[in-house]
Amino acid sequence: MWNLFKKKPAHKPVTIRDTLFGDLPASEWPRDDTANAEPWSSFVKARQLLEKGDKSSAVKMYQTITDMTGLEPRHYLQAWHFLRQLGVNPPADKAKIVYGMVVEVGMPKGADIVAAYTNFTARYLNFTGAGEIWERPDQSLDDKIKALLDAGENVVKKIGPWEEARPPAPTNGNVRLNMLTPSGLHFGYGSFQTLSNEPMGKAIIDPATELMVALTKLAKKK
């Protein structure tokens, strides 16, 4: 199993969208071995242990990362992503924690994407390539981000994780509601109209729209 973590020749480039989900390959998190600050240095050590065939020590290293406090949410998602690949699943009390939400709306020439995380940071990616990165310079978006995360928490309690590779961005007129947890990606998918009229879909789409509008206004001010 640990051969999945060995460095491989570059093939498919990592896109900005790919960085949102906390499921990048180990070779990309981080990309090189020079990181000397936590948790990057622990990710590097775990990767090196796997390259040497020491799976048990690598598992312990990833578990140590999941127990660190104050990390950017995608670090926890990445550590659990690697642990699941090594056959280690999160305990019940952690499995359904929603560390982030990624809502993707298919457009004629791409997808509009809004992402929010438990450290109250957010991202808006327009299909044109424009966007806004919110690193929480103040608390003005906290309520909107919390509303989206809370909606995701309610939904993951009722559905199971996706067991296959993450799907591509939705096509025109469709929407995917992604919930990022230690047990893996949970999502709902369908036409925007259908999900907007479905209780669980509407519960996520409404706060996601509010956050997207707020981030769009910030982008226009620059």
Please indicate whether residue 89 or residue 35 has the higher confidence score (pLDDT).
89
In the sheet with 184-191, reading across from the earlier edge strand, the strands are 131-134, 122-125, 110-117, 100-107, 174-181, 184-191
CB burial of residue 161 (10 Å; 0-12, 13-18, 19+): middle
Show the CA angle centred on residue 57, arms to residues 54 and 60, nearest 5°: 150
Residues paired with 176 in a beta bridge: 104, 189
> Average pLDDT in the 3-16 region?
59
Show the CA angle centred on residue 135, arms to residues 133 and 139, nearest 5°: 120
Average pLDDT, the chain: 93
> Average pLDDT in the 10-29 region?
90
pLDDT at 125 over 70: yes
Domain boundaries, the chain: 2-88, 100-221
Share of the chain above pLDDT 90, in %: 89
> Average pLDDT in the 74-87 region?
98
DSSP conformational letter for 168:
P
**Cβ density class 11-36: b for 16+ within 10 Å, e for less:** eeeeeebeebbbbbbbbebbeeeebe
Predicted TM-score (pTM) of this structure: 0.93
Q: Identify the band that residue 7 occupies on the pLDDT scale cut at 50, 70 and 90.
A: very low
Q: Give the pLDDT score at 11.
A: 52
